[in-house]
Chain A
């Protein structure tokens, strides 16, 4: 462990000179960066605004008054997307964990489940999400089964959960496989059963390792909930679509996009940070 930096330290005269020089350099670099940014961005704005079609573009996509008018309905729609994301996300977590465990088990009694889980993941990871949404959203009500809801929000959520469980199961499984076999050997040599080894030693480490990629999937999930709009769910996308098709002005789409970005950009930034921390932690793990 390193010693704490001595608070009584004061820089030597040479270090003081160097500090002044470093400050001068960074000051100069800051000026250059600012000047170049102003020039490039200013030029881009000038080109866009002075182009002949700009007025039409502005009216069609960036009508601020109209945007304000539709904002409440789009926000109400976005609330549906968020609910879908969180409720769906919880179901996905549970199902995906089950699938990942089934795929990594070696127990002979569970062999059929391992086979089924593999088939499930292959099918739902390989088929386009929109197809699954159409199949479940329109196909299931067509069966006229009693006891199964034909609520489009419910069916849309089921379709998204089915597909994303396959994605997330693979992420968790890769985490399980990334744990070094010596950890398993240590646990088994202490007398832990293979189930206990998975639960107390492998899984906690695996989940920690896959948190960043899972956050990525969570952002994708939020965006992909927009696809349930094709079933007629009045989510943010659908709300924007209804308004646009009424007025032939596309500002509502832009409003919806901006609202999504308000949520997804902070989340991706946070994910990037989590990945960086994870990498740093891994590099300092040393011999374990």
Chain B
């Protein structure tokens, strides 16, 4: 299998605080890598570094074999190949659902407007949002907004999708409608890296689960291994806390 993403010995600090330390990770094509860990363990920072929204202090990042941590690389070209969905949706409030989705295909990929709209409408239809095309984001529920945000990323045909705790801002009833999209994408063969607190969901989609603690991957393996038979004490403690909070 080809590795879409390859991280080698990543280091990242914010001032004095070391956020990622000696972190390495390979993401093969058509697989989903799930990052788990407490808040502040570096999951979001890792995703933002992959997307070049943050610069790394040391190490290398390869996308399809090309080093994207090279300072001479065109960041816009890299981001064109990556989709990113945020915890707080970040839809553009002054644009309708359809305009949110077609902005990048038209302006970045240079698609014709009609073509972009057609693709967008197909995606909206597929995820039961066809009737929301002309609404503004503030008329949508959180779950609908997050689904639109996912579609917005998909409309650019990303090589790799980065999902940053996409259900953390949603109430439990809405979580499922968002996660079912991700399950669909997984069965389509989309390559994904996702940070999540939903352990049940992680078990369903993960090809590999990585437990992050203080900016390093302490334990990695299949969902069965890491989530149900963790070998390391810190993983066991973390999962116990999650279990006590009723999220497993």
Identify the A interface with B (CB < 8 A).
1, 182-183, 185-193, 196, 200-201, 204-205, 208, 284-288
Pick the interface stretch among B25-33, B89-97, B119-127: B89-97
Shortest Cβ distance from residue A195 to the other chain B in the assembled complex, whole angstroms = 10
Q: Chain A residues near B76 (CB, 8 Å)?
A: 188, 191-193
In B87-109, which residues have CB < 8 Å from any A CB?
88-94, 103-104, 107-109
Shortest Cβ distance from residue A192 to the other chain B in the assembled complex, whole angstroms = 6
Q: Chain A residues near B109 (CB, 8 Å)?
A: 191
Given known contacts A185-B53, A188-B79, A189-B51, A287 and B88 CB-to-CB distance under 8 angstroms: yes
Please tell me if B42 contacts chain A, counting CB pairs below 8 Å: no
Shortest Cβ distance from residue B64 to the other chain A in the assembled complex, whole angstroms = 16
Q: Chain B residues near A205 (CB, 8 Å)?
A: 92-94
Q: How far is the CA of A101 from the CA of B92 in the complex (A)?
A: 20
Q: Chain B residues near A288 (CB, 8 Å)?
A: 88-91, 93, 137-138
Is the beta-carbon distance between B90 and A191 smaller than 8 angstroms?
Answer: no
A-B pairs with lowest CB-CB distance, top 3? A186-B90, A191-B80, A190-B104
Shortest Cβ distance from residue B158 to the other chain A in the assembled complex, whole angstroms = 9
Q: How far is the CA of A186 from the CA of B142 in the complex (A)?
A: 17
Chain A residue, CB-CB nearest to B103: A200
Interface string of B61-103 (1 = CB under 8 A from A): 0000000000000011101101110101111111000000001
Is the beta-carbon distance between B51 and A190 smaller than 8 angstroms?
Answer: no
A-B contact pairs, 6 of them (CB 8 A): A186-B92, A191-B104, A191-B109, A192-B107, A192-B108, A288-B88
Is the beta-carbon distance between A183 and B79 smaller than 8 angstroms?
Answer: no
Is the beta-carbon distance between B93 and A182 smaller than 8 angstroms?
Answer: no
Interface string of B126-167 (1 = CB under 8 A from A): 000000000001110010000001001100100000000000
Q: Chain B residues near A186 (CB, 8 Å)?
A: 84, 86, 90-92, 149
Shortest Cβ distance from residue A273 to the other chain B in the assembled complex, whole angstroms = 21
Contact partner, A189, options B77, B79, B103, B139, Cβ 8 Å: B79
Is the beta-carbon distance between A190 and B53 smaller than 8 angstroms?
Answer: no
Is the beta-carbon distance between B90 and A200 smaller than 8 angstroms?
Answer: no
Q: How far is the CA of A200 from the CA of B100 in the complex (A)?
A: 10
Please tell me if B169 contacts chain A, counting CB pairs below 8 Å: yes
Shortest Cβ distance from residue A121 to the other chain B in the assembled complex, whole angstroms = 27
Chain B residue, CB-CB nearest to A180: B90
Is the beta-carbon distance between B103 and A182 smaller than 8 angstroms?
Answer: no
Q: How far is the CA of A80 from the CA of B248 in the complex (A)?
A: 74
Is the beta-carbon distance between B88 and A191 smaller than 8 angstroms?
Answer: no
Given known contacts A190-B153, A190-B156, A285 and B93 CB-to-CB distance under 8 angstroms: yes
Contact partner, B92, options A183, A189, A286, Cβ 8 Å: A183
Q: How far is the CA of A188 from the CA of B75 in the complex (A)?
A: 9
Is the beta-carbon distance between B79 and A190 smaller than 8 angstroms?
Answer: yes
Is the beta-carbon distance between B53 and A188 smaller than 8 angstroms?
Answer: yes
Is the beta-carbon distance between A185 and B169 smaller than 8 angstroms?
Answer: no
Q: How far is the CA of A191 from the CA of B169 in the complex (A)?
A: 25
Contact partner, B108, options A185, A190, A201, Cβ 8 Å: A190
Q: How far is the CA of A193 from the CA of B82 in the complex (A)?
A: 14
Is the beta-carbon distance between B152 and A182 smaller than 8 angstroms?
Answer: no
Given known contacts A190-B79, A190-B108, A288-B138, A204 and B94 CB-to-CB distance under 8 angstroms: yes
Q: How far is the CA of A186 from the CA of B87 in the complex (A)?
A: 11
Chain B residue, CB-CB nearest to A205: B94
Shortest Cβ distance from residue A172 to the other chain B in the assembled complex, whole angstroms = 16
Q: How far is the CA of A285 from the CA of B83 in the complex (A)?
A: 25
Q: Chain B residues near A185 (CB, 8 Å)?
A: 53, 86, 90
Q: Chain B residues near A187 (CB, 8 Å)?
A: 92
Q: How far is the CA of A185 from the CA of B82 in the complex (A)?
A: 13
Q: How far is the CA of A189 from the CA of B150 in the complex (A)?
A: 12
Q: How far is the CA of A204 from the CA of B103 in the complex (A)?
A: 14
Q: Chain B residues near A284 (CB, 8 Å)?
A: 138
Q: How far is the CA of A146 from the CA of B229 in the complex (A)?
A: 88
Q: Chain A residues near B51 (CB, 8 Å)?
A: 189
Q: How far is the CA of A200 from the CA of B104 in the complex (A)?
A: 10
Q: Chain A residues near B83 (CB, 8 Å)?
A: 189
Q: Chain B residues near A182 (CB, 8 Å)?
A: 86, 88, 90
Contact partner, B107, options A200, A204, A286, Cβ 8 Å: A200
Q: Chain A residues near B108 (CB, 8 Å)?
A: 190-192, 196
Is the beta-carbon distance between B93 and A190 smaller than 8 angstroms?
Answer: no
Is the beta-carbon distance between A287 and B104 smaller than 8 angstroms?
Answer: no
Shortest Cβ distance from residue B237 to the other chain A in the assembled complex, whole angstroms = 31
Shortest Cβ distance from residue A284 to the other chain B in the assembled complex, whole angstroms = 7
Given known contacts A188-B53, A287-B169, A183 and B103 CB-to-CB distance under 8 angstroms: no
